[in-house]
Amino acid sequence: MNTRQSAGAPTGAGTERLPLAALLALATAVFITSLTETLPAGLLPGMSADLQVSESAMGQSVTIYAIATALTAIPLTAATAGWRRKRLLLTAMAAFGVANTVTALSAVYPLTMAARFVAGVAAGLAWALLAGYARRMAPVHLQGRAIAIAMTGIPLALSLGVPAGTFLGKVLGWRWAFLSMSALTAVLIVWIIAAVADHPGQRPGNRAPMLRVLAVPGVVPVLFVTLVFVLAHTILYTYITTLLDRLGMSGSADLVLLVFGAICMVSIWIVGGHIHRRLRGLTVAATLLVAAAAAILAVPADGPALVYLAVALWGLGWGGVPTLLQTAVGDAGGTAGPAAADAAQAMLVTLWNVAMAGGGVAGGILLDRFGAGSFSWSVLALLAPVLAVVVGARSHGFPGKGRPARTTDPSLGKDDHAVR
């Protein structure tokens, strides 16, 4: 069935209802993307033994995923700008299915790493696409909530997916963990075909040059905040087990991460309900909450209560950050049209993955030179300029009231219709 829309109007415009089945499909895509990246971290012993490499070498399977995403997100987003959105999403998910299946069946390290690189490329396509896709499914005042629903896949992957995958790997073997991801991807592909509306890509004459998007007011501040905020978070998250050892809680990492993931879900719910009118205030609050958590963790605790308080504050601050930043960059870029919004999203994806890779490296250097106690102080130092930029970007990037108007892209015109 074809549903004709007015120019630039997203699916769902004029109605108060969100297409939950479609948004949950996107959330599942986010879950698969996030879990595919982090799953090897819980399966390193078995993978390294079977492939006959060291655990440190096997750990690079996470790094190569992030590098592939960072290297390919911008050029692939530009190259596929004209593709219909549903076709692009299905292509990315199919690539995940193939990459995870090859990873599960591979008997040699180079092939496994090649499969991980392909998965990272698919992630670059998916991350640059998913937030914009969610936005187009909702009326303007519900776009933040739509993105929040789609982003629930991130904390679910970190708090439930990784432990579940690790457990499955211990019981049945690590290969079954990756095969289960392939099976879930196959189900998702059918789900997308059945429930997710299609949208056209950008016409060649209306595509936004990537570098020109940097001149759009508000884009650079959001990208700066993304780079530095994610770097700070990654330093703390990557080495949380090491930090817990220092705090005398070496056996509590699983429970700590479960608490973190659960509170992240609460944060996403709060952000989804208020982002339309309070994006700036929520971003300031997120920065202050993560800073407060880092300050508490900077001081050795007498017992676990303060550590769990810090983790709860951290989750409450961080959980909504992906939604906040993707909404902010989409709004800023969107003032120059949907093509600019897509380009800005691709840049955010690239910097996000650069920050993740950089956080692991920076955390390792800090650990070697200054010890685990330096993590929290480094986070505080990084969040200071983040707060300054968010507070200063009150006109563009993180506006104080409402959200900026978006320019209608003439490429959408009468051809912008949803196809189920």
What digits encode the pLDDT tens for the residues 200-252? 776 655 555 666 788 888 899 999 999 999 999 988 887 777 788 787 776 77
Question: Comparing 364 with 95, which gets the higher pLDDT?
Answer: 95
Please say whether the beta carbons of 38 and 162 come within 8 A. Answer: yes
Residues 255 and 159: beta-carbon distance below 8 Å: no
Q: Please state which of the ranges 7-16, 70-79, 149-158, 357-366 shows the lowest mean pLDDT.
A: 7-16
8 confidence band (pLDDT: 50, 70, 90): very low
What was the pLDDT predicted at 207? Answer: 52
CATH topology identical between 17-201 and 212-403: yes
- Spans of all domains in the chain: 17-201, 212-403
pLDDT per position as a tens digit, 48-91 = 888 988 876 777 787 788 888 888 888 888 788 778 889 999 99
**Percent of all residues in the chain with a pLDDT value above 70, rounded to a whole number:** 85
- pLDDT reported for residue 412: 35
Looking at residue 353, what is its pLDDT?
A: 79
Q: Give the mean model confidence (pLDDT) for residues 91-116.
A: 95
What pLDDT is recorded for position 226? 94
190: number of Cβ within 10 Å:
10
Share of the chain above pLDDT 90, in %: 30
Q: What pLDDT score was predicted for residue 420?
A: 37
Q: Region 351-377: what's the mean pLDDT?
A: 83
pLDDT level of residue 414 (50, 70, 90 thresholds): very low
Q: Which two tokens stand for residue 164?
A: 């579940």
pLDDT for the residue numbered 404: 57
What are the DSSP E strand ranges found in 34-168?
none
H/E run at residue 245: helix 240-246
CATH superfamily membership of 212-403: MFS general substrate transporter like domains (1.20.1250.20)
Higher local confidence (pLDDT), 207 or 302: 302
Least confident window among 6-10, 99-103, 113-117, 233-237: 6-10
8-state DSSP, 302: S
Mean pLDDT of the chain: 81
Beta carbons within 8 Å of 181's beta carbon, 6+ residues apart = 32, 35, 36, 39, 96, 100, 165
Structure tokens at 25: 């499909």
**Predicted pLDDT at 401:** 64
Phi–psi pair at 373, nearest 5 degrees:
-65, -15
Chain centre distance of CA 45: 26
- Tell me which of 213 and 285 has the higher pLDDT: 285
Kindly state which CATH superfamily the domain 17-201 is placed in.
MFS general substrate transporter like domains (1.20.1250.20)
| Each residue's pLDDT tens digit, 110-138 | 999 999 999 999 998 888 788 778 888 88
